[in-house]
Amino acid sequence: MISKIIYGDPFETDSITQDVPVATQLNYFSLERGEKTQIFTCPLECNDVVYGLGETMGAVNKRGGRYISFNTDTAEHNDSTPSLYASHNLLILDGNRHFGIFFDTPARVIFEIDYRGSGQIRVVCETADLKVYQIEAQSSYAITREFLNAIGPAYLPPLWAFGYCQSRFGYKCEQDFREVLEGHKKAGIPLDSICMDIDYMDRFIDFTVNEKNFPDLKAFSEEMGNEGIHLVPIVDAGIKVEPGNAVYESGVKGGHFCRNKEGGLFRACVWPGMTHFPDFLNPETRRWFGDQYKFYTDRGIEGFWNDMNEPAIFYSEYAKGPGKLNMILNMLFPKQRKEKQARDLVRDYQSFFHNAGGRRYCHYDVHNLYGYLMTRASSEGLQKLLDHRFLLFSRSSYIGAGRYGGVWTGDNTSCWEHLKLNLRHMPSLNMCGFLYSGADTGGFMGDTSRELLLRWLAVSAFTPLMRNHTGNFTKNQEAYQFGDTEDFRSIISLRYRLLPYIYSEYMKAALTSDMYIKPLAFLFPEDEQAKPIEDQLIVGGSIMIAPIIKEGTTERTVYLPEDMTQVVYDGMDFVCTPVRKGTVTVKARLHEVVFFILKDKLLPIGKPITNTRDVDFDDLTLLGDGKEYALYSDDGMTRDCSLKNVRVMKK
């Protein structure tokens, strides 16, 4: 059961699509009301587990942490970082009581969950205007299903979006992309898409192309398409201030840009220089922005990633001193840079304004919606421009954006801690409706190692978005760059053998308001040993993964809540062994992946392929001790997606 309480006059986020009844009282929490804040407090019992918050630092169980919902471009994050790129204000309490609570406000929110041993949840909302949704059910899993149903159906990508994607900030011309394709082909490593970072643009300007390096983008897109490769360009939030540019001119004429506090158009510097930010709170602006994607679709491009949409700001028109000098000083003094950047961002966000429904809103007060509404604008535009499914994923988000596109977890680092964080993010994002998600495999910042990349690929082989992405000052991170490419071919080939299962389980989850990736405790709620385990996850309805995420080891212990089938894949064969409930030690060399099939379940395995064009849903092998499997399949592009596309396979 879900109900809501309305405080003041909240901005309508459209996060919840269901018609939810108004409650007469707030359950579990006490409320301290201020003029501009609301403080909610709930006592915790010793055995309570607190799930939720989507993309944050820390463990899946959020106890002990302090988290701030305020979307921030924070590449150099660690366990003490309070804010990341997204804000997902959902909490789920699991203990003697079971309930969920969603604080629906785009304003800044502070969550202190048994912080410093306080024994309570304390939520500080920096607004007097918000909606609070209460969800009650018999288990955390049931609460999540109820919430997913309330926020609406998850985004449905095309089949090719589940293939392997290669990306780098630094592919500058057609030949760079051809070399990436050739490197994968020569090594026999599967590949379906290559991302285009801002290098493809004319001076980093949205909806342009550098015609010297890409003289005919449509022809090049067709060339790559003939090889089974989709180009996936980046689109940033800011539109360059440049008279004569058609997009800029139409944006100014249509009144589509945010205003500064003096009433002029707000100016902030990002990659192309001074830009204006589209006012995505305005439905007309969303339509205008979505229409701009015709620049790409006319050139045969059907996949996109939206970036810099917190929005990120290098410096604004309100910066003290020369902007470029500020940037140089920031690079020389990183600690002072972080402190100054935080202060400057608050000032900047308080200095520009939106217009929605005839009302003026300070950006600071609605900040967390910006990336979500950019995704919505893009998605709604592409829905009109194309008659089939497309790929779209974003860096910044808020609950509700998962209906329009996927997310990646932003600029991470090539380190083992961020591999572990990737594993923790997946179930938390699923709880908040972001089924199509993944991380920068191998790490964006810093130089990855051969071992780290292989272990990370072994995790990403199970996440919907499987993208190897790195920055422009790092060493080459393509899978064929590390020697002995057979190890990489082995891991990535597993993804393609599992594609019929991954696609089927994702589509069924999206169509039935379910999770694609779950914590172990959601499936085994009565098992006290399963509850604290966060490095083993349930993927779909048949698989449990238990990856090796520590450096320098080839084995780990795994807890089995029930009898299962252990599967070892070595690039050629799936070796299946029945294992009994309890704790076992598993071994996996760098080219191997070990995972488990749940009791009484089946796993469909496809034939070896190197591109999603060759997925054959009719030629499958069933592994496991179950009797039947419900397989979803379609042509991979149609919008006519429903459970009528499910057929039962029997062993």
What is residue 55's three-state secondary structure? coil
What's the pLDDT band for 35 if we cut at 50, 70, 90?
A: confident
pLDDT over threshold 70, residue 402: yes
Whether the Cβ atoms of residue 511 and residue 563 lie closer than 8 Å to each other = no
Residue 341, pLDDT score: 67
| Dist. CA 274–CA 316, nearest whole Å | 8
Q: pLDDT tens, 528-546?
A: 999 999 999 999 999 999 9
What average pLDDT does this structure show over 563-569?
98
Q: pLDDT tens, 42-56?
A: 999 999 999 999 999
Residue 180 or 327, more confident: 180
pLDDT over threshold 60, residue 333: no
Burial of residue 615 (CB within 10 Å: 0-12, 13-18, 19+) is: buried
pLDDT over threshold 80, residue 338: no
Residue 324, pLDDT score: 53
pLDDT over threshold 80, residue 321: no
Cα–Cα nearest to 196, from 228, 221, 163: 221
What are 518's two structure tokens? 């779950």
| Dist. CA 517–CA 537, nearest whole Å | 7
Report field, pTM of the whole predicted structure over 0.85: yes
Lowest mean pLDDT among 112-126, 334-348, 414-428, 450-464: 334-348
What's the pLDDT band for 577 if we cut at 50, 70, 90?
A: very high
pLDDT over threshold 70, residue 485: yes
| Dist. CA 134–CA 475, nearest whole Å | 48
What average pLDDT does this structure show over 420-431?
98
What average pLDDT does this structure show over 326-333?
55
Residue 63, pLDDT score: 98
Residue 327, pLDDT score: 55
Residue 335, pLDDT score: 55
Q: How far is CA 206 from the centre of its chain?
A: 22
What is residue 246's three-state secondary structure? helix
What is residue 308's three-state secondary structure? coil
Cα–Cα nearest to 500, from 640, 632, 651: 632
Cα–Cα nearest to 391, from 289, 466, 459, 441: 466
Residue 307 or 80, more confident: 307
Mean pLDDT score of the chain, rounded to an integer?
A: 96
Cα–Cα nearest to 424, from 514, 529, 547: 547
| CA-angle at 405, arms to 437 and 18, nearest 5° | 105
Cα–Cα nearest to 207, from 289, 274, 270: 289
| Dist. CA 157–CA 303, nearest whole Å | 10
In this prediction, what percent of the chain has a pLDDT beyond 90? 94
Dihedral (CA of 648, 562, 577, 60) sign: positive
Whether the Cβ atoms of residue 470 and residue 575 lie closer than 8 Å to each other = no
Residue 344, pLDDT score: 83
Cα–Cα nearest to 200, from 171, 232, 168, 237: 171
Instruction: Enumerate residues 6+ apart whose C-beta is below 8 A from 484.
Output: none
What average pLDDT does this structure show over 289-300?
98
pLDDT over threshold 90, residue 265: yes
Domains of the chain, with CATH numbers?
Answer: 2-151 (2.60.40.1760), 159-316+353-475 (3.20.20.80), 502-650 (2.60.40.4040)
Cα–Cα nearest to 536, from 60, 205, 62, 101: 60
Instruction: Enumerate residues 6+ apart whose C-beta is below 8 A from 283.
Output: none
DSSP conformational letter for 321: S
Whether the Cβ atoms of residue 646 and residue 508 lie closer than 8 Å to each other = yes
Q: How far is CA 457 from the centre of its chain?
A: 17
Residue 385, pLDDT score: 98
Q: Which runs of consecutive H residues, i.e. helices, occur in 293-436?
A: 294-297, 323-332, 334-349, 363-366, 370-385, 416-431
What average pLDDT does this structure show over 500-514?
98
Q: pLDDT tens, 243-262?
A: 999 999 999 999 999 999 99
CA distances from 182 to 167, 571, 608 (A): 14, 21, 19
CA distances from 122 to 3, 119, 133 (A): 21, 10, 16
Q: Computed over its alpha carbons, how large is the radius of gyration of the chain?
A: 24
What's the pLDDT band for 330 if we cut at 50, 70, 90?
A: low
| Dist. CA 417–CA 79, nearest whole Å | 9
Q: How far is CA 450 from the centre of its chain?
A: 25
